[in-house]
Amino acid sequence: MVLTAGAGFLYVRSMAAVQATNPDPHLKAATSATARPLPPPSELATNLAQISSYAANRQTENRPPQPHVGVWVEIPALKISLPLREGDGGDRLPQWVALHYPGTVTPGAQGNSYLYAHGLWGMFGGLLYARPGDEVVLRDYGSGSVSVLHVSRVVGKIAWNDKSWIHASASKPTLTLQTCVDDNLHGRRFIVQAT
């Protein structure tokens, strides 16, 4: 095992893919989205495979044509823009969509809405770079309504079977966004909340 540091990360190198030991890859001094600009998206996309074994070992499918209809979740700073679909809570999900966990509130309504997507760049992989204050937009292309929230908490890595974030209560509209960081079914997940 070899420890190396760079760009605010502490890496553990082994025969497996490189994994970051710090769940928030931002410098500790950066407490808001304006505190320190992110590197260019191309650099973030390249570095994602170095901090996520999920991203390192998964093939990203070409993005299919996706007309802007229905509700989308967008995080401009992280180049995330995905249509929302109803999920079944299972572990088989398509690429290039964000799924709404069954039984959680409708995204944008008062309470906790749980959304999940693949941990690949362009999907929810960018959540590993989320910072408090980052803008999260729910855009309904049918009605034209737009709800703007902001990342309020970067929870970081959680156990694969930690269901507490799905059932968390919230007194105001809250999005709990989840993705994978480890390349196995029972690997860790990564959580970010926006209010």
pLDDT digits (tens, 9 = 90+) for 151-178: 999 999 999 999 999 999 999 999 999 9
Q: Distance between CA 111 and CA 114 in Å, rounded?
A: 10
The pLDDT of residue 32: 46
Percent of the chain with pLDDT over 70: 82
Question: What is the rounded CA–CA span in Å between residue 96 and residue 118?
Answer: 8
Report the DSSP pairing between strands 9-13 and 2-6.
antiparallel
Q: What pLDDT score does 36 carry?
A: 62
Q: Which two tokens stand for residue 23?
A: 């769940």
In this predicted structure, the answer to whether residue 126 has a pLDDT above a threshold of 70 is yes
The Cβ-side half-sphere exposure at 51, using a 13 Å CA radius, reads 31
Extended beta strands in the chain, E state: 2-6, 9-13, 19-20, 71-75, 80-86, 98-100, 111-116, 135-140, 146-158, 173-180, 189-194
CATH number of the domain at 2-194, out of 2.40.260.10, 3.40.50.12280, 3.20.20.70, 3.90.800.10?
A: 2.40.260.10
pLDDT tens, position by position, 73-97: 999 999 999 999 999 988 889 999 9
Mean pLDDT for all residues in the chain: 84
Check if the beta carbon of residue 160 is closer than 8 Å to that of residue 185.
yes
Secondary structure percentages of the chain, helix, strand, coil, to 5: 15, 35, 55
What's the first-to-final CA gap in the chain, in angstroms? Answer: 39
C-beta separation of 115 from 101 below 8 A: yes
Average pLDDT over residues 9-27: 37
In this prediction, residue 29 carries a pLDDT of: 33
* Closest by Cα among 153, 168, 42 to 112: 168
Please classify residue 79 by burial: count the beta carbons closer than 10 Å to its beta carbon, then call 0-12 exposed, 13-18 middle and 19+ buried.
middle
* CA dist 35 → 8, 28, 96, 132, 133 (Å): 14, 10, 30, 10, 10
pTM: 0.81
Angle (CA) 14-182-133 rounded to 5° is: 115
